[in-house]
Amino acid sequence: MVCVMSLCVILPVNLSGHLFSDAMGGMSLANLEPQSSRLWFHILLTITLFPMAIAAMRQFGLQVPQGPIPSSDGNSRTVMFSGLPSSRANVDIIKSHFREAYPHYGIEDVSLTYDIQHLSALEDELRTVEDALKYCADLPPSAEKVHIKVGGLCGCCGSKVDAEKFYELRRSELTQQIDHEFRRWKRTNPIFFVTFANSDQAYEAYSDHQRCVRCQGRQRPESIQSEQLDTGNWTAFHAPDPSNVNWNNLSQSGWMWYLKAIVINLVLLGLIALLTTAIVALNFPSLPRLQKFHDYPAISQISPALIMLVLQMVMPKLIVKAVQWMGYWSRPKQLIAEMRYIFTDLVLAILLIPSLGLLGSTAAYFLDTHPVRRDCITLPDNGSLYINYLIFYAFISTAMSLFRVNVLVSYVVRSCKARSKAEEVVASRVDRPFAFGQEYASFLTAFTVTVVYAFSIPLLHLSVWSHS
């Protein structure tokens, strides 16, 4: 709908102006006189699209299920609680508390969680060693024996030893370390799970342990163990599927998680303001050292959009690592957080900050641009920036996604770290999940840029068609 309106209605209206003789300026909104009555076409179509967008979002929201999805297994009957003091974690005491606080409810199971970060690292290494050992054992007798370089860096140097014997010894060492870790496994997490007899009882307990329950004038059911278990600080959550739980992150809760979130948000905001704005990319050809290249269109017109695309591909990787460091308890929430952070970063860097003409003074200092440019980078002179950006996104970014360049780069890095042929084979079998947050956020950014400048630069839709 937006594409048809832009190309069939707005584009002829913009071409009817006489302020610019060049093709880019003639197709843009700036080609019309400020007092021209033809501007009412833009106003009326914008007013028409606004309620249509709200109606479309509402229709989509009605199709999304609210609350927990009922299921036939025990997940809908299980509630996840946080705030349990680690020194007082005891299954029998917790069961006694719930049976006294909810005398008519059936408590089927209480499961504590433990700090398994070190144990998970050992198990991952053991799995890799076993795969490499299996590769060595499956080789035919006539094949050359596999050797591994020990004592070097990234397999570039070091002494060669028999790989099969090395992996057998390493497997034995890891097995002993894992057994030792199990024996001294005493530190519990503040997270635990309670399974009730039915979903109604689980929902009632979930409602009683929300942060705002006292604001609603309600009291949590208590027992004689409430003070010992510190139930006043408990918070309930819908228990995710066990396969969607980040078990390594359950030990991170309380003020440490919020401190990490604040630090990461401040760092990302600083990167957005100083490094990832399109104005920085636009000023790239204007640096004093690059003034001699300013007359070359390949640098002055194409390089800003290309740099924007590079920033769009690099920044999501940093954001994904930052979100993983924050330590979300469930993988769906982690994916949603990745998508929100990446989309916010890209919209600020590519759309909002450049369109408003914002440029941090610190970035201007590092770029040595005097005077500081505070004009909007869009119409009419720089309208081609977003057209070039969407063209690059349609062809370069899509082609890289089809050829899975990120997977290839990751494989090359793992292969360089491999110390033997067996580890190279294991590295090639690593299955990478689909980067939902990155791909969806990049698509939403291109869609947002297209819709925002649909009537100002109708030519954008041609690049959108090429991407489709």
Q: With contact defined as beta carbons under 8 Å apart, do 84 and 229 qualify?
A: yes
- Residue 456's CB is within 10 A of a number of other CB atoms, namely 21
Question: For residue 138, what are the contacts with CB-CB under 8 A and spacing of at least 6?
Answer: none
The pLDDT of residue 431 is 67
**What is the C-alpha separation between 26 and 18, in angstroms, rounded?**
7
**Residue 193 has what pLDDT?**
92
- Residues 293 and 300: beta-carbon distance below 8 Å: yes
Contact 13, 38 (CB under 8 A): yes
What is the model's pLDDT at position 412? Answer: 83
Please tell me whether the peptide bond between 380 and the residue prior to it is cis, using omega within 30 degrees of 0.
yes
Contact status, residue 190 vs residue 85, Cβ threshold 8 Å: yes
CA–CA separation, 250 vs 352, rounded Å? 36
pLDDT digits (tens, 9 = 90+) for 53-107: 788 777 776 765 555 444 444 457 899 998 888 777 888 899 999 999 898 888 8
The pLDDT of residue 120: 85
**Which residue stretches of the chain have pLDDT < 70?**
20-26, 30, 61, 63-75, 151-158, 185-186, 213-217, 253-254, 273-301, 303-304, 353-387, 430-431, 460-468
Give pLDDT, residue 367: 47
